[in-house]
Structure 1
Amino acid sequence: MRVGAVFFASYLIGLRDGLEAALVVAILLTVLARSSRRDGRAPLWWGVGLAVLVAGVLGAVLTYVATALLGGVRLELFEAVTSLVAVAMVTWMIFWMRRSARTLKAELTGRLTEALGMGRAAIAVLAFVAVIREGVEMVLLVFSAAQAAAQTIAPLLGMIAGVLSAVLLGWLMNKAVARVNLARLFTWTGVLLILVAAGIAKYAVHGFQVAGALPGAGNLAYDVSHTVEPASWYGTLLAATVNLTPRATVLEILTWIGYAVVVLLAYFRPARAATRSVQEREVTQAEAAA
């Protein structure tokens, strides 16, 4: 069951990031079809393929460095630093997607129109840039989650399964991409990623404490490992998804709660502000009409 929970956590990450990439590709394919530029499909797929290859190489390099070159304190520091990079990237990507969801299709359409005028290489570069962001984020998240949970092949299999599911959904969305509500689609998956990122930030603190770079390794916030079995299905599921473990230090918990609260508040604030702005504009228009 431990392997199953790790698989599920990586599946969610692969599904979410893969869905974003698949949606981008679906939009680009739709624009090419409407522009009667089917000759642009080949360079588009070349760009997508290169982005997948680069992300795969990054994952292989991270795994090789962590397993073959490092050990002990250096390994803890390496995993902590890569976890912080993953948290920074996913935080930036969450807010970028939240801000761009409503205008993503128009932006991609404009960029692809420009690329069509510049040649096939420009189309490949556009597709590469659009997909590589998701690929790098996904690799870093899965790598960090795998280090925090278990050293098995389950994270890789879960990520692949999530990406394959995203490809299927992307193909279905390609048939009706104009009707996809991007803002609603990514709002709640963004919340899930924020909680995952909070867990990875907690794991980074744990790594720094084990390595001696941060104090408080023995200052526990709680220890329920005698009542909550770490290898149980619920214990493993919480550890594999949001890294809530049966034993944690005060600094780890403060990091988890602090990141989750601050980012969630900032994440929902623009949406509420935008809603109030729309409501105020509608009231103003109604008063003017009266």
Structure 2
Amino acid sequence: MLTLAAGASAPSVATQLVGSGLIGLREGLETGIVVMILVAFLVKSDRRDALKWVWLGVAAAVAMVAIIFVAIHFGTSTVTGLAAELISGLASLVAVVIVTAMILWMRKAAASISGHLRAGLSKALAVGPFAVASMAFFAVGREGVETALLLVGYAENTAGSIWPLVGLLLGIAVAAALTVALYFGAVRINFAAFFRYTGVFLVVVAAGILAYGVRALQIAGWLPGGSNLAFDVSAHFDTSTWYGTVLQGIFNFRPDPTVLQVVAWAVYLVVVLTLFLRPLPAKPGPERAPLPEPSNIPAS
């Protein structure tokens, strides 16, 4: 994944950039909002002296995520044959489980995350610098691990291309710029709509990663039905077309899926989208508000 695949066409490069860029934008903005809430609370509480501990925790979390990403990529790129299929399949399934749990958790937690973060940081300030840094570390690290796993699973089908990583970094850079603009009130975002639509996108991406993992485990002999194809449209599916690169590059679509792949993909989509899109139970009080913008974050 860290070298450009030979013969990568312009459409496939664009698709890889867009797909991983959207992942980076969504996860980066989610992480940026967490950091923004912590920083805004400290500034408005006149505790700027604790900002350095927040940034230390953030830096440690970023380093941890980079190590996890490199370790997983190294593990999946240094083996070949059936062992490589087995590792890729298992890594994809783990990524789907963790990403799904985080998407569904964020659906419920978005309405009250600001209050929880401020309450937690208030307690951490009373304990000391290490507690402040630890809170920032875990708050950012949780989002970062999700991003690392999602990108590894997403990029498994890119045959060594560097472009998913480039797209991710570009998405994160845009998210960082948006976070700064949000903090200073330069832009406004409907957080509820943003996380809803990007959440649906991530669920569809995760479904493709699940199908990829199922096929890898079938090739490795861990799952049955590797020769039972649901359909085969290889003769009519041109990967060089725009729709071919989009379907294959973003959603892990292949023209000859097995029956088990199709069943896993369809069941996952139906179940997870139903859970994700169902209305949240109404709760009285301000906790039902969407993620706050900086101007709406109270000092205490």
Does TM-score exceed 0.5, indicating one fold?
A: yes
* Structure 2 match to 1:62: 72
SS of residue paired to 1:80: helix
Deviates more, 1:210-219 or 1:251-260: 210-219
Alignment of 1:103-122 (within 5 A): 103-122=112-131
Aligned residues: CA RMSD: 2.0
Q: Deviations over 1:93-133 (max 9, x none)?
A: 11111101111111111011111111111111111101111
The CA deviation at 1:148 is 2.4
Residues 1-290 of structure 1 aligned to structure 2 (within 5 Å): 1-68=11-78, 70-176=79-185, 181-271=190-280, 273-274=281-282
Distance in 2 of aligned mates of 1:57 and 1:196: 23
Matches of 1:213 and 1:274, distance apart in 2:
44
Cα distance in 1 for residues equivalent to 2:249 and 2:204? 12
Give how far 1:274 is off: 3.4
1:228 deviation in Å?
1.4
CA distance in 1, matches of 2:268, 2:282: 24
The one-character-per-residue Cα deviations of 1:24-44 (angstroms, maximum 9, x if unpaired) are 001111001110010111111
Partner SS, residue 278 of structure 2: helix
1:64 maps to a residue whose letter is F
1:245 aligned counterpart, secondary structure: coil
AA aligned to 2:102 is M
Residue by residue over 1:38-86, the C-alpha shift from the partner in whole angstroms, topping out at 9 and shown as x without a partner, is 0111111111111111111111111212222x11111101011111111
| TM-score, scaled to structure 1 | 0.90
Partner Cα separation in structure 1 for residue 18 and residue 193 of structure 2: 23
Which stretches of structure 1, 4 residues or longer, exceed 4 Å deviation after superposition?
none
**Cα distance in 2 for residues equivalent to 1:98 and 1:111:** 20
Q: Secondary structure of 1:221's partner?
A: coil
**Partner amino acid for 1:136?**
V
Tell me by how many angstroms 1:135 deviates: 1.0
Give the structure with the higher percent helix.
1
- Asked if structure 1 preserves the Cα contact closer than 8 Å seen for 2:76 and 2:88, the reply is yes
Separation (CA, whole Å) in 2 of partners of 1:230 and 1:150: 14
Query: Tell me, which stretches of 5 or more residues in structure 2 are unaligned?
Result: 1-10, 286-300
Deviates more, 1:79-88 or 1:213-222: 213-222
The separation in 1 between residues aligned to 2:39 and 2:140, in whole angstroms, is 14
Q: Which amino acid aligns with 2:63?
A: L
AA in 2 matched with 1:147: E
